[in-house]
Amino acid sequence: MLNQSDPILRLENIGKYYGRFQALADISLSVQIGEKIVICGPSGSGKSTLIRCVNRIEAHDSGRVIVAGHELTAKTRQISQIRQDVGMVFQSFNLFPHLTILQNCMLAPIKSRGLDRSDAEKIAQNLLSKVHIANQAHKYPAQLSGGQQQRAAIARALCMKPQLMLFDEPTSALDPEMVQEVLDTMAELASEGMTMLCVTHEMSFARQVADRVIFMADGRIVESSPTEEFFRNAQSERARSFLRRVDL
Amino acid sequence: MFELLSQPAPDGGTYGKWLLSGLTWTMALAIAGWAIAFAVGVAIGTGRCLSGRTIPAICRVYVEIFRNIPLLVQMFLWYFVLPELLPPNLGDWLKQLAPPWGNFLPAVLCLGLYTASRVAEQVRAGIEALPPGQKEAAIALGLHPRHVQYYVIVPQALRLLIPSLTSEVMGIYKNTSVALTIGVMELTAQARQISEMTFQTFPAFAAVTITYLVLALIVWAGMTWLEHHLAAPTSTACDPRPVFLPPVKEENR
Amino acid sequence: MNNFDVSFILDSLPYLLKGLQFSLILTAVAFSCGIALGTILALLVHLRVPVLGLIAKTYVALIRSIPLIMVLFWFFFLVPLFLGWLSGASRPVPVGATWTAFITFALFEAAYYCEIIRVGLRAVPKGQFEAAAALSLNPCATYLHVILPQVFRATVPIILTQTIILFQDTSLVYVLSLTDLLGAASKLAQISGRLTEFYLTIALIYLVICFGASQLVWRLRKKTKLQ
């Protein structure tokens, strides 16, 4: 099926429009298994749109998205197949407020993967203890702090055993003192070899975890370099001025 | 299908005329009832938000009584029971009022005061939804409490309220049909009467139903217009450009 | 005014209570059927299902623009014709006032519940749909387990308030000469001539029930607001 050397994700010339506004222009990108990529850039540059095209939360208008060897088309069955293998963590957590943390984690494995309750619960408990909130399992999202909610959301995504994780500004909605706990959880996940695509402004995290940094502006990939090189010697002026402005 | 309306009726007119007369009574009930409902409702709703104990309590009792008894039962209370409870000469005067006023008057009072309780609740909700800073600022300016309500609170609350008042206006015009139970010959009563006279139930009902739909459309359009023209300028609606410049056409992003 | 005769009321209390029982059953049936049908209609509109969504929208707008009494008359006239057509009989099938009342109230209330649920559906944050999609829940599971539970939770106070209004509206079956609470009182009042006593009594009964219910709803609303 998939060779070790095949990319888990390949984007070919992706274009995306909102009305006449071009959100993404000619994006090409390939992600190997185990690779950790941080996408950064000024707001409105299309970073979020880009990763939302990967699991077709937004539909791209042109180009090809290929996940684990399968091209994403409008076919519902196939989209749902791909979404099972791609986990996503949102800026605003998007936990289901009427379900407990544990139920949040068990819902999709039971309904989409067809696991039985006891297996799903075992997996969920496991992952919740991994993100250090096992004792909150029976609480409702609103009873947790922002940092705990985001870690729960990460656990929820992991319960589907995804091959690729997408993070859409996972710490932007958090109070400053809670940012680190979420970043630590993500770093831990990275060290276990998870393939990750993160949109974030946390440059220290990028430095510590990422294999490669992608800098976007105006819907285009301006620069894509190995992490060290990006921070030491960014090629474009826009990336350099961006780096000067963000806190290192 | 509607040739029925041009057919002669037993009273020498046409059935179309019957329908028009029904429409007149429906409109009269709705308009007069709404005048009462709005005036009383705003007063009671504002009263519920005043400081102090007595006035809010009285207003609350009013709302709970008029809101929690079915309109039809209230109709019967006004029509059958009230004349018995009044002093005999006043009660007799009411009972002997020449038709149709003997039926219309209780119906209008009933409809108006019932709807007033619902309007009052909306007004109260609107006032409570206002940011507290409004009242504080008005008091800080040294306004008399009455003027705080009259110039600052109520006008803003009413603007906020127009959408929910729209549904109350829709409610009162639909509720006019309940007046048929005490003998007011409004639209629905005419529909039934024409159908019983002619056995042409379908066209009779259809004509009246279409009339109701047109009324609903007029109410809706009117309230939308009102909402548009009374809307207080907000940060988005307010145009920051100097007035002497022609408006710039926004590029569609 | 004649002196208020309480013993008379007490004697006829069983008959009044039987009427009240009918009002309550009618309310319960209209509530459950109305919610079920209303949810379906709301989903058809919300999901913009071709043709069916438009039909649902038109139905709701139509029903909500016509007085309930008119709708009752319509159904009293139409349902027998419809059943006759359905069963292939050449004549209308008489269904009687009771069935008409049940059918009308269920269909009428469905339009009102639909509107409440539709607004509730619109109020669910977009992120909830996205999160469900990202977890690859199918549309059916998304609505059943994620979206609708939130909608019902958020709209319970409004739905219950509407149900109190529904209970009050059941008094309108008076126009079909049925014996609900009001119908029972009106029949007793006609026979005995004691209109004042009977109408005041049932007004009090309605007041107690509806006030009590609305207080409960108010408490519920306060409790859910705190969360």
Write out the DSSP string of A159-209: TT--SEEEEESTTTTS-HHHHHHHHHHHHHHHHTT-EEEEE-S-HHHHHHH
Q: In what order do the strands lie in the sheet with A70-71?
A: A21-32, A7-18, A62-67, A70-71
- Which residue of C128, C134, C146 is in closest CB contact with A55? C134
Contact check, Cβ <8 Å, A18/B253: yes
Percentage of chain B beyond pLDDT 90 is 39
Mean pLDDT of chain B: 82
List, for residues C145-188, the tens digit of each pLDDT value: 999 999 999 899 999 999 999 999 999 999 999 999 999 999 99
Q: Which two structure tokens, joined as six digits, stand for C175?
A: 């126009």
- Which residue of C130, C135, C153 is in closest CB contact with A98? C153
Our measurement of the distance from residue B148's CA atom to the centroid of its chain's CA atoms, rounded to an integer in Å, reads: 26
Contact, B148 vs B135, CB < 8 A?
yes
C227 pLDDT above the threshold of 60? no
Among the residue ranges A230-244, B212-226, C3-17, the one predicted with the least confidence is C3-17
Q: How far does the CA of residue B252 sit from the closest CA of chain A (Å)?
A: 7
Dist. CA A18–CA B10, nearest whole Å: 66
CATH of domain A7-245: 3.40.50.300
Percentage of chain B beyond pLDDT 70 is 87
- What are the domain boundaries of chain A? 7-245
Residue A94 contacts C where some CB pair is shorter than 8 Å: yes
Contact, B169 vs B159, CB < 8 A?
no
B23 pLDDT above the threshold of 90? yes
Taking contacts as CB-CB distances below 8 angstroms, the residues of chain C near A93 are 127
List, for residues A206-230, the tens digit of each pLDDT value: 999 999 999 999 999 999 999 999 9
Residue among B210, B196, B189 at smallest CA distance from C66: B210
Q: Does residue B250 fall inside a structural domain?
A: no
Dist. CA B157–CA A110, nearest whole Å: 49
Our measurement of the distance from residue B8's CA atom to the centroid of its chain's CA atoms, rounded to an integer in Å, reads: 34
> What pLDDT, on the 0 to 100 scale, is given for residue C91?
78
Dist. CA C72–CA C175, nearest whole Å: 8
Neighbors of chain C by Cβ distance (3+ pairs < 8 Å): A, B
Contact check, Cβ <8 Å, C136/A87: no
- Which residue of C1, C77, C189 is in closest CB contact with B85? C1
List, for residues B89-116, the tens digit of each pLDDT value: 888 887 777 777 888 999 999 999 999 9
Question: Which whole number is the average pLDDT over B206-219?
Answer: 92
Taking contacts as CB-CB distances below 8 angstroms, the residues of chain B near A20 are 252-253
What pLDDT band is residue B228 in, cutting at 50, 70 and 90? confident
Our measurement of the distance from residue A79's CA atom to the centroid of its chain's CA atoms, rounded to an integer in Å, reads: 17
β partners of residue A37: A197, A212
Q: How far does the CA of residue B47 sit from the closest CA of chain C (Å)?
A: 20
Dist. CA C93–CA C51, nearest whole Å: 30
Taking contacts as CB-CB distances below 8 angstroms, the residues of chain B near A21 are 253
Give the CA angle between residues A67, A72, A77 to the nearest 5°: 105
- Reported ipTM: 0.89
Residue B236 contacts A where some CB pair is shorter than 8 Å: no
Q: Which of A25-29, B6-10, B238-242 has the highest mean pLDDT?
A: A25-29
- Residue, of C139 and A198, whose pLDDT is higher: A198
The amino acid that residue A154 corresponds to is I
Neighbors of chain B by Cβ distance (3+ pairs < 8 Å): A, C
Question: Which whole number is the average pLDDT over C6-29?
Answer: 90
Q: In what order do the strands lie in the sheet with A220-226?
A: A86-89, A164-168, A195-199, A36-40, A212-217, A220-226
Contact check, Cβ <8 Å, C146/A156: no
Q: Does residue B137 fall inside a structural domain?
A: yes
Question: What kind and span of H or E run contains C190?
Answer: helix C181-192
β partners of residue A30: A10
Contact check, Cβ <8 Å, C131/A90: yes
The top-level CATH class assigned to C22-177 is mainly alpha
- Residue, of A80 and A90, whose pLDDT is higher: A90
Contact check, Cβ <8 Å, C130/A94: yes
Dist. CA B221–CA B229, nearest whole Å: 12
What is the extent of the structural domain holding B27? Answer: 13-230
What pLDDT band is residue C3 in, cutting at 50, 70 and 90? low
The amino acid that residue B32 corresponds to is A
Taking contacts as CB-CB distances below 8 angstroms, the residues of chain B near C70 are 177, 187-188, 191, 205, 208-209, 212
Taking contacts as CB-CB distances below 8 angstroms, the residues of chain B near A18 are 253
Question: Which whole number is the average pLDDT over A26-33?
Answer: 93
> What pLDDT, on the 0 to 100 scale, is given for residue B238?
34
- Which residue of C133, C137, C141 is in closest CB contact with A57? C133
> What pLDDT, on the 0 to 100 scale, is given for residue B142?
63
Contact check, Cβ <8 Å, C70/B208: yes
Question: What kind and span of H or E run contains A102?
Answer: helix A101-111
Contact, A69 vs A77, CB < 8 A?
no
Mean pLDDT of chain C: 90
Dist. CA C69–CA C104, nearest whole Å: 10
Dist. CA A167–CA A38, nearest whole Å: 9
Residue B177 contacts C where some CB pair is shorter than 8 Å: yes
Give the position of tokens 């009563």: B189
With CA atoms as reference, the chain C residue closest to A78 would be: C136
Residue B253 contacts A where some CB pair is shorter than 8 Å: yes
Residues 6+ apart with CB under 8 A from B109: B36, B78
Contact check, Cβ <8 Å, B180/C203: no
DSSP state of A94: -
Q: What CATH number did the domain enclosing B67 receive?
A: 1.10.3720.10
A73 pLDDT above the threshold of 90? no
Dist. CA C89–CA B105, nearest whole Å: 47
Dist. CA C216–CA C223, nearest whole Å: 11
> What pLDDT, on the 0 to 100 scale, is given for residue B106?
92
Q: Distance of CA B118 to CAs A17, B37, B91, B168, C209, Å?
A: 48, 9, 28, 7, 18
> What pLDDT, on the 0 to 100 scale, is given for residue A70?
86
The amino acid that residue A54 corresponds to is V
Q: How far does the CA of residue C120 sit from the closest CA of chain A (Å)?
A: 14
Q: Distance of CA C50 to CAs C45, C58, C201, Å?
A: 9, 13, 51
With CA atoms as reference, the chain A residue closest to C147 would be: A96
Dist. CA B162–CA B182, nearest whole Å: 31
Residue C216 contacts B where some CB pair is shorter than 8 Å: no
Neighbors of chain A by Cβ distance (3+ pairs < 8 Å): B, C
Contacting B residues, span 200-229, partner chain C, CB-CB under 8 Å: 201-202, 205, 208-209, 212-213, 216-217
List, for residues B159-212, the tens digit of each pLDDT value: 788 888 888 898 998 999 999 999 889 999 999 988 888 888 888 899 999 999
Q: Does residue B3 fall inside a structural domain?
A: no
What is the full DSSP assignment across chain B?
-GGGGGSBPTTSSBHHHHHHHHHHHHHHHHHHHHHHHHHHHHHHHHHHTSSSSHHHHHHHHHHHHHHSS-HHHHHHIIIIIHHHHS-HHHHHHHHTSPTTHHHHHHHHHHHHHHHHHHHHHHHHHHHHHS-HHHHHHHHHTT--HHHIIIIIIHHHHHHHHHHHHHHHHHHHHHHGGGGGGGT---HHHHHHHHHHHHS-HHHHHHHHHHHHHHHHHHHHHHHHHHHHHHPPP-TTTS--S-TTSPPPPPP--
B145 pLDDT above the threshold of 80? no
> What pLDDT, on the 0 to 100 scale, is given for residue B159?
78
List, for residues A140-168, the tens digit of each pLDDT value: 998 999 999 999 999 999 999 999 999 99
Dist. CA C162–CA C180, nearest whole Å: 19
Dist. CA B8–CA C24, nearest whole Å: 44
Contacting C residues, span 147-166, partner chain B, CB-CB under 8 Å: 164
> What pLDDT, on the 0 to 100 scale, is given for residue C114?
96
- Which residue of B71, B181, B209 is in closest CB contact with C70? B209
Mutate to test the interface with A, among C136, C225, C226, C227 (most CBs of A within 10 A): C136
Contact check, Cβ <8 Å, C131/A107: no
Report residue A217: phi and psi, to 5°: -155, 140
Q: How far does the CA of residue B74 sit from the closest CA of chain A (Å)?
A: 41
Residue B90 contacts C where some CB pair is shorter than 8 Å: no
Taking contacts as CB-CB distances below 8 angstroms, the residues of chain A near C133 are 55, 57, 83
List, for residues B45-79, the tens digit of each pLDDT value: 999 988 888 999 999 999 999 999 999 999 999 99
Q: How far does the CA of residue C162 sit from the closest CA of chain A (Å)?
A: 23
Q: How far does the CA of residue C146 sit from the closest CA of chain A (Å)?
A: 7
With CA atoms as reference, the chain C residue closest to A142 would be: C227
Contacting A residues, span 42-61, partner chain B, CB-CB under 8 Å: none
Q: Is B142 exposed, middle or buried (0-12, 13-18, 19+ CB in 10 A)?
A: exposed
C56 pLDDT above the threshold of 90? yes
What pLDDT band is residue A20 in, cutting at 50, 70 and 90? confident
